[in-house]
A = this chain, B = another copy of it.
């Protein structure tokens, strides 16, 4: 990639990051290009779809979550580590406007997407909790992430404390526990 192309790429991602933080996932691509000091055509060549731009913007933030998952992989309490990580994912998704929507509405879990990376990062946490007999064996990491993201999306209207409640509810189940 040529030097100027790289420079423009970075400026677009940076501008998009700000725009999305401010206006959510529906931020105007035109405005992003403008504030990056770049023609709209340039934006569209670097990022053929809104989704691909999303991925680039969120790559860094998703990276944080992945690092966190690796940190927690050797934590003493397997279940605590998993729950803590899921809550962090939820918090990120709720805070970063549009992350949840982007993760959910994007093409489902193709390899190389940030979804795929998140799933891969969470997998060991889930497996450890399952092997410790603390989490049901038939739950997939992808299911968990989908649920957490769906909750974050739903709670963007209702507020973060609602999200907390729902996550707890999902973990413990709606039905009463009868031995």
Contacts and interface: CB of A to CB of B under 8 A. Distances in A.
Contact of A104 (B107, B157, B170): B157
Interface stretch (A11-19, A65-73, A143-151): A143-151
A135 B174 contact: yes
A144 to B, nearest CB: 7
Contacts of A178: 177
B157 A170 contact: no
A173 B138 CA distance: 11
A112 interface: no
Contacts of A157: 104-108
B171 A143 contact: no
A43 to B, nearest CB: 22
Interface in A43-78: none
B154 A169 contact: no
A177 B177 contact: yes
A34 interface: no
Interface of A: 79, 104-108, 133-136, 139, 143-144, 146-147, 149-151, 153-155, 157-158, 162, 165-166, 169-179
18 contacts: A104-B157, A108-B158, A136-B172, A136-B175, A139-B174, A144-B174, A147-B150, A147-B151, A147-B169, A150-B153, A153-B153, A169-B170, A170-B173, A171-B173, A172-B174, A172-B175, A173-B175, A177-B177
